[in-house]
Amino acid sequence: MQSVKLAACAWSVAVAAVAASSATQAQAPVEEAPVEAPLGPQVSQAEAAAPADAASQDLPAPAAADTSEADEAAASEAAGDARTDGGIEEVVVTAQRRKEKLQDVPVTITAFTAEQLSEARIVAVQDVATRTPGLVFDAFPSSQPRLAVRGIGSSDRGAAGDPSSAVFLDEVYLGRPAAVAFDAFDVERVEVLKGPQGTLYGRNVVGGAVNVITRKPDFTKFDAGAQVTVGNYARAEDAGFVNVPFADGKAAIRVAGAVRQHDGYTENNFTGGRQDDQDDRSLRVQLAYNPQDSLRLLFSLDGTRSRAAGPGQHVVDRDPGSPYAPLWTIDRNRNYTAGSFEGYLNKETWGSRLQGDLDLSFATLTYLGSYRELDYRESYDFDGGNPSTNRIAISGGAPEKSHFYSNELRLSSLPESSIRWVAGLFTFTNDTNRRDTLILDTGRGPGTETYHQDATLDSYAAYGDVTIPVGEMWHVIGGIRYSKDEKDYALSNTEGPNLFRASERFDLQLSDSWDAVTYRVGGDFKPFKDHLLYAMVSRGFKSGGFSDTPGAAAEASQSFKPEYATNYEIGQKSSFFGGRLVWNNTLYWMDYTDLQTINVLPDLTKVTKNAGAATIKGYETYFNWRPFAGANLMTTYAWTDGTFDKYDFSPEESYAGNRLTRLPRNKVVVSPSYDVLASSGAIVRLAADYRYESKIYDDDSNVGPEFRPPTHFVDARVIYISPSDHWTVSFWGQNLTDETTRVFQGTFLGATFAAYNPPRTYGVTLTWNL
């Protein structure tokens, strides 16, 4: 309750400051050199002033246009050099399918620019999650990440399930957990949208969305860059890009690639090998062609290949109430594992994307199509022991092959339109074949049980969203979407010679469909140039589905219902003291109904059910300050309280009143930096990141060993930026205090099994740009 009072107090101060700061805007600016914040939102004034193209997102402008992306970048640099007020430059985002200054968008967003991604070594989605309050990453294992936004996430990796919080790559929905694979090198920015995305983005998600926006081809100049990293654990990383315009400035091609490798963090003292290593290779090719000023085309092809051994598993606790508890040996040493084999987590995923924009007299017509494939293979020792340590051996994996494609056709208002709107049609199809295998040896020889899952999803949607000005200071916002999902599901357990999880054999053909209307409605008020107040109600929907490893045909045949989240949110975004201080605040209340939860029963079967209802409420704040020349302090904080209102786990037991899993009540990120300007014009930047998360429950019961204590992580870096800004050298360290925490865990057969986070890592990165 005290946290609620503090949040309300902070909110009151923020609103009062809106009026008080209006006089401050007229003060004479103080001269100081432009400095980039380490993790705060930044963007050029030129980009902020660019037309808000609702349809083309980041498609390159034609060479004949007044402002190309390269022109904007050059103007940005010139504007930064000319600034004397020391203000914090803002990011331009496309969260509402049009270019807008982050401070002008009535949505809670955390955004990372290309420079921030590079400097803080944010290369994958888990790195984004660690630095974003309200966003939690869970490795289950790391090759199949689970994301939760404001407490809404999903543990369902079955072929007939869906994520509650989603990742989009250049607006393309990555529909399977293992398909979330991208390298942040040559990425323009990453946007984290919090709360239900009920109208604008792909398939509906109830928690939130991570949008990854890559750099697009530049028509105006040849460009190239490279990056090399070496570090401990034999880390060796190489990345590079090249941009080539041709056809008299009407076309351009951009190619970017990266190789990231390091030895395993965990030594297997039974096999002599290492686990938790990395060997990732990624490539992205983009071809843009503008045959005329009113027509823009962009074709993209990207792929990622990953190889890893592991994960390194451990028995971290024994269940004293289980007769199997004495059969396990506790092993909490993160640096070593004793698994009988090293295992593997391998995948290849690739995709293609085609976008075309045609400017009409009244709107812009956009077509966006995509096709993606995933080939994922895993097999590992789940208990992390061998016959000399554990009397039971558990292993297996769940390889899958998926292909999915989407089509979207939309009309968007022209940039000069006072009423900004977008309307469209969307389809998404996903085919997934998954083979879930459990190998269990209780001392009588290994047995094998296999579930075959084959799911097909067809999703259709129609949507519209509009922002209408009311006078000079007000906007009214409304959006609506109709969605319909159809699923066909084949499930059988007839292949394996044994039954461990199931009580009977079955071979079923199932189907079901669901539809929903979702929406957002609200408005914003801008009483002064640098201050925005907004209120929004939004509703999101996640499709129903079928359980992946049920124990009996009756359970398998029963589909679970969709889940819904309705979010009530008020927010404020303000800049003070000539742009030197940015302070944003958000308060929200979310009704979460029919939430889908997985019940893992003592016989190891897993059944997904609609648990009931939950209430999630929270406060988030973002504070970015430049107190004097060269210094910057960025702080973000999220207080989140999520509890089950209704959850009948069994007729005898209720979890009502328990906290939602994987939800820290408090999360803080503090990122100070200081720039030292040398006489030569070079800059030496000293920067650090401190991250804190309070305790987390991994089980809905909120009891037992599936619990993570609070964590404290510290990263730091020293960066030398050459006077010409063509090359930089960064000496960096991550997890400098060597903090240890569990990244995922599960309890069954008398023991809790877990894997750990990476240890302390450090290295040096050399970056060169033409």
DSSP string, 673-708: EEEEE-TTS-EEEEEEEEEEE--EESSTT--SS-EE
Q: For residue 205, what are the β-bridge partners?
A: 197
pLDDT of residue 320: 86
pLDDT of residue 14: 41
Which domain covers residue 379, as residue numbers? 2-769
pLDDT of residue 407: 96
Exposed, middle or buried, 19 (CB in 10 Å: 0-12/13-18/19+)? Answer: exposed
Q: DSSP secondary structure string, 166-177?
A: EEEETTEE--SG
Given a cut of 50, the residues of the chain with pLDDT beneath it are 1-58, 60-85
In the chain, how many domains are there?
A: 1
pLDDT of residue 602: 66
pLDDT of residue 63: 39
pLDDT of residue 603: 67
pLDDT of residue 652: 74
pLDDT of residue 22: 38
375-386: per-residue pLDDT in tens?
999 999 999 999
pLDDT of residue 423: 95
CATH code of the domain in which 316 resides: 2.40.170.20
CA dist 591 and 616 (Å) reads: 7
CB 565 within 8 A of CB 590: yes
CA dist 366 and 358 (Å) reads: 6
Using CA atoms, how far residue 222 sits from 118, 244, 250, 261, 705, in Å, is: 21, 5, 14, 29, 57
pLDDT of residue 630: 92
pLDDT of residue 10: 42
pLDDT of residue 79: 34
pLDDT of residue 44: 36
